[in-house]
Amino acid sequence: MNPLELRQQLIHYFNEDIGSGDKTCEALFDTNPLQGKGEFIAKQKGIFAGEKILEQAYGLWDKDIQLQLFKKDGDIVHKGDRIATVDGSYQILLTTERVILNIMQHLSGIATMTAKAVTALANSTIKVVDTRKTTPGIRMLEKYAVRCGGGVNHRFGLDDAIMLKDNHIAAIGSIGQAVKKVRDVTGHMVKIEVEIENEEQLQAAIDADVDVIMFDNMSPHNINRIITQVPSHIITEASGNITLENIHEYSNVKVDIISLGFITHSAPALDISFNVMEGLK
């Protein structure tokens, strides 16, 4: 995760929430800058993702704030576990509370959902990867959370690689024509992935010698029936209509990758609370 980009995003999040100032904390603490301590507590079992958020967020406000972490990104947390404590100005602790919690809960939810998918698949030879089905503006954070949960990142954006999906192929006319067209104008470092839905398209992708073939919306049986035709140097991927409930059915499919949209777009937040403790003497 790019620390400079993370810093810029956190500044944006705080500006959005605070606006011209935290009226509540300004009224309570402006003339009485009390010091205190707070703690982050897990309220349910899951995978924690937020260590880097805590380290960066408080540093934006006061480099002397004391942060103590009891959990690292990727660690399992149970209900009641203390994740971290922070010592500093009450005004800073309470003004930043909501933004920090929102991000940590969301990222920890994604890490938890990813870990559930990896566990349900129960095949370490197949990589569980994310997609571009992320929240606009926080893709970097969400994809980091996937890694915390034991997953792997697919492309970060449209500029990472060429992916010829059904609409691209329909617009050009055929897989062969589409691959030739992009090869004519693309450098040798850029990989080409093609989405296929049937055996005829599979053969066209093989004939075009693409780098990656994605089996889209195909059952485990149908994938295994035709995947033996794919040369060993071509990476294979399954995607589409794969859920937490049925991913175990793909554990014996001979693909290299399973890509899942739900681990980012449908992950519920992990419940984490922030509680003020005693004031500092």
User: Are 126 and 247 part of one and the same domain?
Assistant: yes
195 is catalytic: yes
Q: Residue 245 burial by CB count (10 A; 0-12/13-18/19+): exposed, middle or buried?
A: exposed
Per-residue pLDDT, 279: 54
92 with 218, same domain?
no
What pLDDT sits at residue 1? 83
Alpha helices, DSSP H, located in the chain: 3-18, 23-29, 51-61, 90-121, 139-148, 166-172, 175-185, 199-207, 220-226, 262-265
Q: Are residues 251 and 133 in the same domain?
A: yes
The residue range of the domain holding 185 is: 118-265
Residue 57 has pLDDT above 70, yes or no: yes
Taking residues 86-94, what's their average pLDDT?
Answer: 94
Torsion of CA 88, 56, 43, 92, to 10 degrees: 30
Considering the domain architecture, whether residues 250 and 163 belong to the same structural domain is answered as yes
Query: Does 231 lie in the same domain as 133?
Result: yes
Mean pLDDT value across the chain: 95
Q: How crowded is residue 193: how many other Cβ atoms within 10 Å of its Cβ?
A: 20
Active-site choice (133, 139, 147, 191): 133
What CATH code is carried by the domain that includes residue 124? 3.20.20.70
Q: Respond yes or no: is residue 207 known to be catalytic.
A: no
Q: Does 35 score more than 70 pLDDT?
A: yes
The candidate with the shortest Cα–Cα distance to 256, out of 230, 222, 275, 217, is 230
State the CATH number of the domain containing residue 83.
3.90.1170.20
Catalytic site includes residue 79 = no
Check whether residue 29 and residue 130 sit in a common domain: no
Per-residue pLDDT band at 32 (split at 50, 70, 90): confident
* Band of pLDDT at residue 54, cut at 50, 70 and 90: very high
**pLDDT per residue over 144-161, tens digit each?**
999 999 999 999 999 999
Number of domains comprising the chain: 2
Question: Is residue 165 among the annotated active site residues?
Answer: yes
3-class DSSP assignment, residue 272: strand
278 confidence band (pLDDT: 50, 70, 90): low
pLDDT at position 31 is: 78
3-state per-residue secondary structure call for 197-257: CCHHHHHHHHHCCCCEEEEECCCHHHHHHHHHHCCCCCEEEEECCCCCCCHHHHCCCCCCE
Pair (129, 243) in one structural domain: yes
Catalytic-role residue among 7, 45, 98, 254: 98
pTM listed for this prediction: 0.94
Contact 252, 227 (CB under 8 A): no
CA distance 275 to 280: 15
Which pLDDT score is estimated for 281?
45
State the catalytic residue, choosing from 97, 142, 193, 195.
Answer: 195
Answer yes or no: do 134 and 85 share one domain.
no
Catalytic hit among 51, 97, 193, 216:
216
**pLDDT beyond 50 at 177:** yes
pLDDT at residue 174 in the model? 96
What is the rounded average pLDDT of the residues 11-32? 92
Q: Are residues 135 and 257 in the same domain?
A: yes
85 and 224 within one domain: no
What CA–CA distance (Å, rounded) separates 122 from 124? 6
Catalytic residue among 23, 72, 79, 165: 165
Residue 127 and residue 105 in one domain? no
Q: Are residues 190 and 51 in the same domain?
A: no
